[in-house]
Amino acid sequence: MAFAFGALVTVKSSGQVPNVIVGWGGNTAQCNAVVDTTRLQTFKDTYKLVLICGVENPTMDKMEDERILISNPFDIRPGGVAIVANYSHKLDELKAIQGTVQVWEMIAMMPPGVSREKISKLSDIEKLNGKILAPGYYQ
């Protein structure tokens, strides 16, 4: 409850949700992120964390781009969570077309029982009662 109130105060005062990703990276086989779960503890029984990665593409709406990676769901635990999403052929195709690419990372909270196969684009997250934890996406 304290986090929810604190998040609401932050959103109302700044218009943004604090970013929970404290580290990120990747290589040719995966993208990864370290999540600060300090402010997420009140959601540990009602949500799981997933890492979503994609390639910056100014010719497409990021919310509708299906060339994304989704990690397995992870429990919200004290002390932070390290999450990895393995690359797939979806991004290989884009990398081959564009050469060097810039990868973005986002964390979402999803209700337990929602499999990653049900998420094909960012706009699916809200439809599945999830929340994207990135400034500008939280509602």
pLDDT in tens, 44-84: 999 999 999 888 888 889 999 988 888 999 999 988 898 98
| Residue 1 binned pLDDT confidence (cut-offs 50, 70, 90) | very low
Top-confidence residue, 39 or 98: 39
Residue pair 14/64 in contact (Cβ under 8 Å)? The answer is no
Domain boundaries, the chain: 19-132
Report pLDDT for 137.
Answer: 60
Tell me the pTM.
Answer: 0.76
pLDDT exceeds 80 at position 90:
no
Which own/partner pairs from 4-8 qualify as long-range (CB within 8 Å, at least 24 positions apart)?
Answer: 4/42, 6/39, 7/39, 7/138
